[in-house]
Structure 1
Amino acid sequence: MYDYVIVGGGSAGCVLAARLSEDPDVEVCLVEAGPADTSPNIHVPAGAAKLFRTQLDWDYDSHQEPGCENRRIYLPRGRVLGGTSSINGMIYVRGNRLDYDSWRQPGWSYDELLPYFLRAEDNERGGSEFHGTGGPLAVSENRSRNPMSDAFIAAAIAAGHAANDDFNGPDQDGFGYYQLTQRDGMRCSSAAAYLAPVIGRPNLTIETGVQVHRVVIEGGRATGVTGWRADGEVMIRAAREVVLAAGAYNSPQLLMLSGIGPADLLTALGIPVVVDQPLVGQNLQDHPQFWLVYAHSRPVSLLVAGEQRYQQQFAEQHSGPLSSNGPEAGGFVRSRPELPAPDLQFVSLPVMFADGGLGFPSSHAISFGAYVLQPRSRGSVTLAGDDPTAKPRITHNYYADEADLRAATDGVRAALDIARQSALAPYTERPMSVPASESDTDIRDWLRRTTQTSYHAAGSCAMGLVTDSELRVLGADGLRVVDSSVMPRLISGNTNAPTIAIAEKAADLIRGVAPLPPAVAAAMSN
């Protein structure tokens, strides 16, 4: 018996486990399906791509995507302590102020959430109006600085875009290097940031290798979870609350397996209906992403990372190609000047992006492209069957809304304009993946053939639809969801930092602590 049982040891779950166990009188159990984060490829930043389709990856694919020529798109998710923060690109981006204000949920405006971003952050630049110091999450400069990343930024500026050295500062627009969730050149996942420093707390139990199958609900209240590990079935009881922090795919799946979801589907699968909630798993969102790829003869891509000199550089200085997060540089662009905020986010990768990230680069290359930041298309997560080990049925419905395809088309033209600039000429010798022309028809055909996920799934247990503004599941007591699935609308940027901030705030909601007032932000930045 524990006070709190947290399901999912990812970006949100690690935050909750650390914060809730700060009270020595509270017993906390964190349950993770995967193993501990001991693989060297987690902690050496450039090793992340080697983790795809391994035991540390849930290894999901979308169902056939109608807007992408019915392709199934690979959707990696971390199945390890740290979750996807243990395998992601480590970009630290909060999104735009307007994102949070548009949620229209009490307590979740940008000004109200900023103190939680600052509480989490330990920025090596020091404190400021927009940055905190002393928090668990290290935010650092890129230590790789590949020459192709320099060239990409220079080309973007030559193409007429502004320079920006802080995408989390007063303005989001412009191009530059991303700050990263790294400490001393090593990955700073949520497990490294939040769990590692408190691993010895006597009131914190961490169960790895336990896949939760359902939440136990008795008399309308969540009282624990059941699951499976190598030695058999597991029952873990919660005296106060069960918190699902399993991510935008697994949290709605677990709710449905527990009888909370659309009654017609649950009944058809033989799952007893606890709460008829047709919106569980709906409202799924992601940033559709395209990649232009150009091969060249310069031996500077991340293919050189394994050379002895670079291994020695990383061992001695924690810098160089092995410290690369992959998408080192990028920027934010408004496809139309009248827009209130950027609607495209660019990223540049100093290596060939092949086969959705699963292929091995065949030559030195540069890959760059953009996400559609405010997609109107909505998908869903549903059950494929009543077996808890069956993977969920995921459909993102990329480009179901014409506005998303129009924004992506504008993004392709902006990317091609950047590619034409002289700064990138040494690295754009041979087009490998580009549209046949700049006509709408050719660009759209190419987008439908090549679009990938940006790994930013959100919205499938949204506040106001599935949970209330305190993240309590509607219709069930003692049960909350705390992860990216609670975002009513996807934020304009990478989702890891916002998910951590959501969990920071959720910890206060669960503890009954008064929310940090906006004025606290200024004090935390000093």
Structure 2
Amino acid sequence: MGTFGCCWKIFGVALAAIFLFFHDLCASEKAPNYTFMQNATAAPPISYYDYIIVGGGTAGCPLAATLSQNASVLLLERGGSPYGNPNITNLSSFGAAISDLSPTSPSQRFISQDGVINARGRVLGGGTCLNAGFYTRAASDYVRNVGWDGKLVNESYEWAEKLVAFEPPMREWQTAVRDGLLEAGVLPNNGFTYDHLYGTKVGGTIFDKQGQRHTAADLLEYANPSGLTLFLHASVHKVLFRIKGKPRPVAHGVTFRDATGAKHKAYLKNGPKNEIIISAGALGSPQLLMLSGVGPADHLKAHNISLVLDQPLVGQGMSDNPMNAVFIPSPVPVEVSLIQVVGITHFGSYIESASGENFAGGSPTTRDYGMFSPKVGQLSNVPPKQRTPEAITKAVEDMKALDDAAFRGGFILEKIMGPISRGHLELQTRNPKDNPSVTFNYFKEAEDLQRCVQGIETIEKIIESKSFSKFRYDFMSLPMLLNMTASAPVNLLPRHSNVSMSLEQYCKDTVMTIWHYHGGCQVGMVVDRDYKVLGVDALRVIDGSTFNNSPGTNPQATVMMLGRYMGVKILGERLTSDVVSN
């Protein structure tokens, strides 16, 4: 009991880092031969293309690969390549990337105004290089409500799945969670499937059998090399518009800077169907629209940005699915597992899990890059200025003295469907490299909070189930586990460390992100159903910023699908236009 008594706080401190930790397992061992990929320093001062795509992330890569089949495409990515980076190549080096807070890190940390620590992708492939790998499609009702063509949706999912989706191996921890979900009444057992079905299922993964991650960047293997130009470390500062003599603003180019700060301009070739497409993510897309003069007039004026179009809904409708978890120390060693099993409940909460002592302290001899390591842990109760190299070194040395048993275990989490609660995004500076200010308003709506409570109650049933008994200590009661987690500095919010607190308070105190934030350029508010920006011409936004709700239990499959789906639709429109003109 003594070891666990002194380590409870360590378990809790690590809880938030556990999830960020999963987000640094990208990059294959061998980089593909992308002849079209160059550093932006090689970009000419001025160039011309049929399509210019801003953002080589989850949507941008499949979109660029598709459009390159019948047009000239420029893809601009602010980060670097996911391939060949030793810090993020495979599972054995996990944790190194998330501890890297340099300007070129593939993960850019930000903290929402709610006080929740978060991250955004800054690498080719975007969030698919930084997530836990879970691959699952959107529900059929979701597809119908959005108004997508069901046949093309399925074809687009399949197109991506041929390169990036796999069936995961099921080992002891994940099997216990699956069986515990069934004991808890999350029925039926749907087995392995990509489909979004009520009950318990094993989903897909973007990790292959060798443990190598496959990302949206891999979808560029479909590209026509002669039709695509890709520049890395290309930071887009604004979209350029023609205004004079036009009934409404027309996008016709972008300005971007390379890693040296040199300025480049890329323009659209003359053509009625040529467009600029922003795929910079839920933070980057509304941010770039505002920096380009499309947004709330008063807000842009306050930042001395010339107004192109007063669009007060840019940056509105921001949502982040709240995630709450319970950490469970294990009396026996457990395998390293990412998210593989999900319980899809009727009350609107999704139950998932991950495990592995290697995720805790890293190497037992170094305790250097594990999730409990001070190099990786968020330690949000320690002001950043106090996180000196000396302080981190001392903390790592202190951790080496702890028993290995203190680092065994895993967690079970619940994520809220939707959610209903909404927030907003604003500029902080005119520098596109700086994070905007974002507020998500977690649990502002009572229904979201109730879903969290029901999710935690389901987690309690799993922990108490016969199927899961091997992985819990008999002396650790559920109130003890909850209090251990609630005592952790997983975010910057005040907390109430008391075993008698309500589950409502537990949800509020321990809320974290699961990195499924969306909104800011939503359909019907900022873009139309074809993702064209309302009020201007030759400009679309295609990414998760257009979602009113997060699709499925993990959005990455649907965001990749959307890139392919819209690429096919846009090429179809282009072909029709060419036939008519001839």
TM-score, structure 1 as length reference: 0.81
Q: Report the CA distance between 1:263 and its aligned residue.
A: 0.6
- The whole-number CA distance in structure 1 between the counterparts of 2:193 and 2:486 is 28
- The whole-number CA distance in structure 1 between the counterparts of 2:174 and 2:140 is 27
- 1:176 corresponds in structure 2 to 201
- Pair 344,46 (structure 1): closer, same or farther in 2 beyond 3 Å: farther
Indicate which of 481, 485, 488 corresponds to 1:433.
485
CA deviations on 1:231-281 (whole Å, 9 max, x unpaired) are 312212222211111100100000000000001100111101101101111
Q: Report the CA distance between 1:301 and its aligned residue.
A: 4.2
CA deviations on 1:446-495 (whole Å, 9 max, x unpaired) are 21121111111112211111011111111111111111111233223211
- Pair 150,434 (structure 1): closer, same or farther in 2 beyond 3 Å: farther
- 1:418 corresponds in structure 2 to 462
Task: State yes or no: 1:73 paired with 2:103.
Answer: no
Alignment of 1:297-316 (within 5 A): 297-302=331-336
- The whole-number CA distance in structure 2 between the counterparts of 1:18 and 1:492 is 24
- 1:226 corresponds in structure 2 to 255
- 2:354 corresponds in structure 1 to 349
Indicate which of 52, 61, 67 corresponds to 2:110.
61
Q: Report the CA distance between 1:346 and its aligned residue.
A: 1.0
Q: Aligned letter for 1:172?
A: L
| Contact 1:58–1:77 (Cα < 8 Å) also in 2 | yes
Indicate which of 306, 325, 348 corresponds to 1:291.
325
- Pair 5,465 (structure 1): closer, same or farther in 2 beyond 3 Å: same
Q: Aligned letter for 2:339?
A: P
Quote the sequence identity (%): 29
Indicate which of 303, 309, 317 corresponds to 1:275.
309
- The whole-number CA distance in structure 1 between the counterparts of 2:329 and 2:542 is 42
- The whole-number CA distance in structure 2 between the counterparts of 1:423 and 1:394 is 41
- The whole-number CA distance in structure 2 between the counterparts of 1:514 and 1:165 is 42
Q: Aligned letter for 2:74?
A: C
For structure 2, which runs of at least 5 residues remain unmatched after alignment?
1-47, 244-248, 361-370, 380-395, 400-405, 488-496, 576-582
Moved over 6 A (4+): 353-357, 434-439
- 2:37 corresponds in structure 1 to none
- The whole-number CA distance in structure 1 between the counterparts of 2:518 and 2:149 is 18
- The whole-number CA distance in structure 2 between the counterparts of 1:290 and 1:35 is 32
- 2:33 corresponds in structure 1 to none
CA deviations on 1:195-219 (whole Å, 9 max, x unpaired) are 2454x71231110011111111122
Alignment of 1:23-422 (within 5 A): 23=70, 26-38=71-83, 39-45=85-91, 47=93, 49-52=95-98, 54=100, 55-65=104-114, 72-103=115-146, 107-108=147-148, 110=150, 113-122=153-162, 137-143=163-169, 145-162=170-187, 163-169=189-195, 172-185=197-210, 186-192=212-218, 194-196=219-221, 198=223, 201-219=225-243, 220-231=249-260, 232-239=262-269, 240-302=274-336, 324=337, 326-335=338-347, 343-351=348-356, 358=378, 363-422=407-466
Calculate the aligned-residue CA RMSD, in Å.
2.6
- The whole-number CA distance in structure 1 between the counterparts of 2:99 and 2:265 is 29
Provide the aligned length of Structure 1 versus Structure 2. Answer: 456
Task: State yes or no: 1:6 paired with 2:53.
Answer: yes
- 1:443 corresponds in structure 2 to 503
- Pair 168,14 (structure 1): closer, same or farther in 2 beyond 3 Å: same
- Pair 53,469 (structure 1): closer, same or farther in 2 beyond 3 Å: farther
Higher mean Cα deviation, 359-368 or 369-378? Answer: 359-368
| Contact 1:99–1:490 (Cα < 8 Å) also in 2 | no
| Contact 1:101–1:110 (Cα < 8 Å) also in 2 | yes
| Contact 2:318–2:422 (Cα < 8 Å) also in 1 | yes
Q: Report the CA distance between 1:2 and its aligned residue.
A: 1.3
- Pair 158,514 (structure 1): closer, same or farther in 2 beyond 3 Å: farther
For structure 1, which runs of at least 5 residues remain unmatched after alignment?
66-71, 123-136, 303-323, 336-342, 516-526
- The whole-number CA distance in structure 2 between the counterparts of 1:48 and 1:8 is 25
